[in-house]
Amino acid sequence: MTSLLPAQQWTTFRIPASETMPRGRLTEQFTHCPSGLVVAPPGFGKTALLAQAARAHPGPVTWYQARPGAGRRELLTALGYPPDTPAELVGASGAIRQAPRRRDTGDGGAAGRLIVIDDMHLLSSAAQALAVRLGQLALPHPLVLIGTRPAAGSPVASMEASSATVVNADALRFRSWEVEHLFPRLYGTALRPGIAVPLVRATGGRAAMLRLFGRAVAADPDAGQEQILADGSFGREYLEREVLAPLPGRLGRFLAETCLLNRLTAEACHALTGRTDSAEMLYSLAHEHGVLRAAPDGRTYVAEPLLRACLRARLTQALTDVELTRLRGRADAGGQQDPPPPAVRRRPGTVDWADPLRAVVAGSPDVFPGRSGGHVTGAGSGGSAALLVQGVAAALSGDGTAGDTVRRALAEATEDALVVLSGQLVRAVLAVLAEGPAGTVPYPELQRIAYDAERLDLLWLSRAARCLLGLGPHPEDAGQPAVVLDECTRLGDAEGAALAASAVCLRSVWRGRPAIGELEEAVRRFRALGWGTLEAWGRAALAVVEAAHDLPDAEQRAAQAEAFARSAGVPGARALAIGAMAMATPDAADRAELQEAAWSTARSARLPVSGLRSWLTALASPAGQAGDGAVTAGRTRVGGQHTTAPPRAHEAPSVPGLTVRCLGGFEFALAGRAHDWAKLRPRAQALLRLLAVRAGQAVHRDHLLLAFWDGVTTPSTLHNLQVTVSSLRSFLEPERPRGGSRLIARQGDSYRLVLVPGDVSDVAAFERAVRDGRRSRAQRRPEEAADAFRTALDHYAGELLPGDGQAEWVVADRERLRREAAGAAVSLAEIRLGQNRPVEAADAAERCLEIDGHRDAAWRVLIQACDTAGLAADSARARNGYSAMLASLGIPPSGVLPHPT
């Protein structure tokens, strides 16, 4: 059990530190629920998820790490209740909340107190029942989050049946696209392209197994990630110790006997082993021990490939060659070796609908029975696949009734997983497009579709769903459209790349920054593929954005877009293009006439006029910069001349430009105005510098109290913090009324220095460039990676806030940024050396050594670059410097200096 801390940071026990990527898709589920349950086998990251949820909670948090065998008395004491609370108070509905709590626990005010009980399965039975009871009590009782392992006889079933939000092992498994972000962030190693999917399949997405793989790669980078995964030895000891050893003997033997079957059913296991209790064994292994995964049909179970390999090794040791051959023969005779998943077997008589679907997207009028003149009718339709194609065609034309057709397709597609998942994705897309940027994105449904499609090897469908995740609320998925675009480009999937490019455009619209360059790129891709229908929509959307930015030829481009949509037979896109013509025309009477024509065209296409209005508004949103650098809005035409005009009604008021520099020194300029820092107290200045380092990010008040008030949380220190922030706001924005600051925002118990488009933060720009460089290098785009690393080094003007000396609050960030800068420099050097540009490689290596003179890889690259460039004297100096560096560390110099891989 962790040590008891003073009453600081609003916790009774310290929240454990956990290094993992943000998992907003899971923690958001606990935001508005009275209780939550995280139940999964060991190694799935339960504690890390609970810690993220605890840190995101705006009120006080009590964290209790369960101790083996702990009883009711210890649990009550840890949670702030008197240890002698009578049993009848616990049993009576809601009565325990009347029991007095210790004064230091508090009730959390409006946010409420959060109780986290981790590893509840270690508690005694009575204490487990009490914990579950606490999670079932309503407000004003504290919120309760419980982490536990699945176990027979556990009392969590009653909590699952109540209003508790449950996160299970399947939800905790890391998806392939999450793993691609996880490795550079956590392990400093980028995955090789194409390895994420087999890695997740082999490990089941279990956090502990991924961590072990990352350590194995870091320990032996020369072995190759594919070889390490194929060998599988990195996780065997863990699986034996944490997964197989705790199993009862009969379950372990059953699991080993059936490991030759790829998919486990009661019938197949009975035929192989002769056991009549196979169904009970499979259920117990899946639901009580979490070793197997149950398929959606409820009858089929699977084991992770690495676990199966471990079991087969056990079986080989336990059986003789004759017995093993006989067992394999029975498995083969039962036809259970690698059967196709039942969910994706195609029913007799169904057609391959992918080709007609592609043709419908392309806009050819005669590619599907029943489609003519740009519309799909019910004639000639047959089966769920045909209905789905009709629905897609109707949606592309702008028909508002397309959703009904898709729903009919889903109702008929009972067994065809391809049609079901595709239909669900189309339904989600239609919902997103109907509501526009102001609506909500069905994020959990898109996550499920992407995950299920990947499990069924429908990777193209998974990528399509992932594209839309970027429209959701979670920062960790914001870059998914661009990532999928790069992935499709690398795979040579031009069709997927075109759809991903359109998702990139949607992402820009959702952010209120529609980009002309991105739209032009999407239109170019549609044209190259011959996708006339989508090209019509792209050209219409582009015309709206150009009209909103009042470009000189916007009126002509809008007319061309309308003509193209009319010839392509896409009335919805034509209505959008007419709306663009109305925006671009200088004459008020013509504008009103064109607007009415746009509404009339939309109604004739059965496209809701409200939907058309919302999209015109969204696409006309001022971006400050058109995506390709074109000058934006604020002009109107008067007698053929362009003059400055007031902002449009829908434009947000401008925010003064902010420049924040923390690398190499501190600079803070607001709208070019200098500040007399002598008028601001030193503590307020230091607080501003801390917020500046984290510009754009929320900084919790606990972090500020720890930095400037020794972490003491009392009414007095909280008041001092509020006064300091208030004085800082008044100093920076004296013209704004009290409470009207737009520069330093408060979010719950956190403060944030606000950055808007056009503002400059050298730390944010540096970190963004480093991430871009790592991602591009992992995706084998060396030139883009080199450009990004060069940009990062341009921003790194020196160490972070050198004027603050060794202040504790800045030292950790200073060292982290220094390491990242040195890593960017040596990565740039390695790229340039690989491109046979040794002089540039030497310059980058020397820059790295200026930042970190002990970076071994930089010395090696510098020596090899000098040798390659024929700079004998420089090479000799580099070798001497390298030897001196090794000597200073007590390491004998090596005569061999191979280039690091």
Taking residues 429-439, report their average pLDDT: 79
* pLDDT band per the 50, 70, 90 thresholds, residue 342: very low
* CA angle at 457 for the pair 456 and 463, rounded to the nearest 5°: 105
Determine the Cα–Cα distance for residues 163 and 349; give it in Å rounded to an integer: 44
When pLDDT is cut at 50, 70 and 90, the band that residue 831 belongs to is very high
Helix, strand, or coil here: 668?
Answer: strand
Would strands 635-638 and 35-39 be described as parallel, antiparallel, or unpaired? unpaired
Helical residues (DSSP H) of 220-318, grouped into ranges: 225-231, 236-238, 249-257, 266-273, 278-283, 305-318
Of the candidates 672, 675, 704, the one whose C-alpha atom is nearest the C-alpha of residue 691 is 704
Two structure tokens written together for 301: 């179970």
- For range 145-163, the mean pLDDT: 74
SS3 624: coil
The pLDDT of residue 175: 87
pLDDT tens string 289-325: 778 888 766 788 888 888 888 888 888 887 777 777 7
pLDDT attached to residue 13: 63
Looking at the chain, the whole-number percentage of residues with pLDDT higher than 90 is 13
Mean pLDDT of the chain: 78
Collapse the DSSP code of 133 into the 3-class scheme (helix H, G, I; strand E, B; otherwise coil) and give the result: helix
Mean pLDDT for 380-401 is 72
Closest to 772 (Cα-Cα) out of 786, 753, 752: 786
Average pLDDT over residues 59-69: 87
Most confident of 66-80, 126-140, 356-370, 784-798: 784-798
Q: What integer is the mean pLDDT of 881-896?
A: 76
- 381/363 Cα distance (integer angstroms): 18
Find the mean pLDDT for residues 395-418: 75
**pLDDT band with cut points at 50, 70 and 90 for residue 332:** low
pLDDT band of 846, cuts 50, 70, 90: very high
* Local confidence band at 847 (pLDDT 50, 70, 90 cut-offs): very high
- pLDDT of 334 reads 53
Compute the chain's Rg from CA coordinates: 31
Write the burial class of residue 125 (CB in 10 Å: 0-12 exposed, 13-18 middle, 19+ buried): exposed
Q: What is the mean pLDDT of residues 150-177?
A: 77
pLDDT single digits (tens) 762-782:
999 999 999 999 988 888 889
Q: Exposed, middle or buried by CB within 10 Å (0-12, 13-18, 19+), for 805?
A: exposed
Confidence of residue 737 (pLDDT cuts 50, 70, 90): low
Beta-strand ranges (E) seen in 77-232 are 114-118, 143-148, 165-167
Q: What pLDDT score does 848 carry?
A: 94
What span, in angstroms and rounded, lies between the C-alpha atoms of 726 and 709?
17
Lowest pLDDT segment from 56-70, 281-295, 726-740, 879-893: 726-740
Look at residue 361 in the predicted model and tell me its pLDDT. 61
Q: At 615, list the tokens.
A: 């999209």
Confidence of residue 160 (pLDDT cuts 50, 70, 90): low
| pLDDT value at 120 more than 70 | yes
Tens of pLDDT, residues 499-546 = 889 888 888 888 888 888 888 889 999 888 888 888 999 999 999 988
The more confident residue out of 29 and 651 is 29
Q: For 363-383, how does the pLDDT look when each residue is reduced to its tens digit (9 = 90+)?
A: 543 333 333 333 333 333 457
Per-residue model confidence as pLDDT tens digits over 650-707: 333 333 478 899 999 998 888 666 677 888 888 999 999 999 999 988 898 888 998 8
User: Which range has the worst mean pLDDT, 69-73, 405-409, 588-592, 881-885?
Assistant: 405-409
CA distance 480 to 465: 10
In the chain, the amino acid numbered 399 is D
Determine the pLDDT at residue 376: 37
Instruction: Specify the pLDDT at position 354.
Output: 55
- The pLDDT of 549-566, averaged and rounded, is 86
Nearest to 89 by CA among 80, 100, 102, 79: 100
Please identify which residue in the block is written with the tokens 């930042």: 851
At 673, the amino acid letter reads R
**The pLDDT value given to residue 414:** 65
Overall average pLDDT of the 18-44 stretch: 80
Residue 242, token pair as written in the block: 């944490």
3-state secondary structure (DSSP) of residue 757: coil
Backbone angles phi, psi at 307, to 5 degrees: -70, -40
User: pLDDT confidence of 159, banded at 50, 70, 90?
Assistant: low
Q: At 356, is the pLDDT very low, low, confident or very high (cuts 50, 70, 90)?
A: low
More confident of the two residues 117 and 757: 117
Given a contact cutoff of 8 angstroms between Cβ atoms, the answer to whether 689 and 658 are in contact is no
**3-state DSSP percent of the chain in helix, strand and coil, to 5:** 55, 5, 35
Please state whether the predicted TM-score (pTM) of the whole model is above 0.75.
no
DSSP state of 479: T
Q: What is the mean pLDDT of residues 544-550?
A: 85
Task: Band the pLDDT of 428: cuts 50, 70, 90.
Answer: confident
